[in-house]
Structure 1
């Protein structure tokens, strides 16, 4: 847990990865019953639905928060933000991929807005901790908002500003969340998908500031 890298490596020092995913994915979401690889752009999710990506520490508990959110149609966990293609969990844990653990969310914006998802993101983790969440230390646990459209970017940056001002008002540290256009997302192994439905008493890390999003 401790001793993992807390700084990103130069790209030339990261692991080479592989050209194909080294495992097969389940076809369906274990809880929601929807396609795990759902995407409105490929017709595997309803037209008008959107995709969002968040990094907020250990992806087991993070995914559970979102699959329980009304309006979320499908979720999955994976690796994002680094340079190693099709990494394994062990490679990500080494720090030598520069990936963070991420949650991929397909949602109906008529039921839950992207803004609401971002507000949840800020409230259920601590966006001020840099390369860690609680006792989970390493670059794979960094906070990240990866947007998929200019509209999502505008919302992400504005809500980051608003929440940052609220944290400052309370004397809490600055937000360290990485905000950028969504990089390639690589699905995690089947054992990690909907992990807490399979292992209800499994590990959950929800370090947070205790600060609700300002009304």
Structure 2
């Protein structure tokens, strides 16, 4: 019983340096092209396009939300926000890498605004649950927004504050979403990329709060 409790505590607490798994120097093998769009997963991406990085629980269902969004050019799933270089899926599940499951979104800002992607992010999961999303428990399932510019950072914070007000009005708890500058993104293994396109009846545990998020005004650049 102590062993099970100890493992659960590790999964609910981010590791510190010295506790994290060592990982490896070389990137994991992954797909070259998006299974749905057939576009290059790792680029090169079209000039003028932007990137976004979101963690909202299990990345299988989260990725599908974004690849179905008009204006999104390509998506990929992977790991970010931890300490272990080039982690495997099995390693991240131990909670000893510190990474969150995340979705990389490459989009055309002329067709879809970053604010619109934020709206999808907030409304598609429960950002008040800490180190979990529903039955998915552990640090890998935490809510996170990793930003690629000062403008994205400002918009992310503004959207959080706006959504917190809406959640409070609905009697919901405080948002626990991590918002930080984008760390290194590690592409997940090939079988996880566009998983629900390959496995239409596969698991998807995403569930929003039912509280709408007003699209925040774009920050001045």
- Same fold (TM > 0.5): yes
Task: Measure, in 2, the Cα distance between the counterparts of 1:117 and 1:202.
Answer: 24
Matching residue of 2:16: 10
TM-score by length of 1: 0.94
Task: Measure, in 1, the Cα distance between the counterparts of 2:105 and 2:16.
Answer: 29
Matching residue of 1:33: 38
1:9 Cα deviation from its structure 2 partner: 1.4
Matching residue of 1:92: 92
1:207 Cα deviation from its structure 2 partner: 2.4
1:5 Cα deviation from its structure 2 partner: 1.1
Alignment of 1:11-90 (within 5 A): 11-23=17-29, 25-38=30-43, 44-90=44-90
Matched positions, count: 208
Matching residue of 2:4: none
2:101 partner SS: strand
Q: Which structure 1 residue ranges, 4+ long, deviate > 4 Å from structure 2?
A: none
Alignment of 1:146-165 (within 5 A): 146-165=146-165
Matching residue of 2:185: 185
Check whether the contact 2:28–2:187 (CA below 8 A) recurs between aligned residues: no
Task: Measure, in 2, the Cα distance between the counterparts of 1:75 and 1:168.
Answer: 32
1:214 Cα deviation from its structure 2 partner: 2.9
Matching residue of 1:105: 105
Check whether the contact 2:31–2:189 (CA below 8 A) recurs between aligned residues: no
Task: Measure, in 2, the Cα distance between the counterparts of 1:117 and 1:10.
Answer: 31
TM-score by length of 2: 0.92
Q: What stretches of structure 2 of length at least 5 have no aligned partner?
A: 1-6, 216-221
1:54 partner SS: strand
> Does 10-19 or 90-99 show the bigger shift?
10-19
2:104 partner SS: strand
Q: What stretches of structure 1 of length at least 5 have no aligned partner?
A: 39-43
1:130 Cα deviation from its structure 2 partner: 0.3
Q: Does 1:138 align with 2:138?
A: yes
1:22 Cα deviation from its structure 2 partner: 3.3
Q: Does 1:203 align with 2:203?
A: yes
1:46 Cα deviation from its structure 2 partner: 1.1
Task: Measure, in 2, the Cα distance between the counterparts of 1:161 and 1:37.
Answer: 33
1:75 partner SS: strand
RMSD: 1.2
1:52 partner SS: strand
Matching residue of 1:41: none
Check whether the contact 2:166–2:212 (CA below 8 A) recurs between aligned residues: no
Task: Measure, in 2, the Cα distance between the counterparts of 1:68 and 1:178.
Answer: 25
1:109 partner SS: coil
CA deviations on 1:157-194 (whole Å, 9 max, x unpaired) are 00000000110111100000000000000000000000
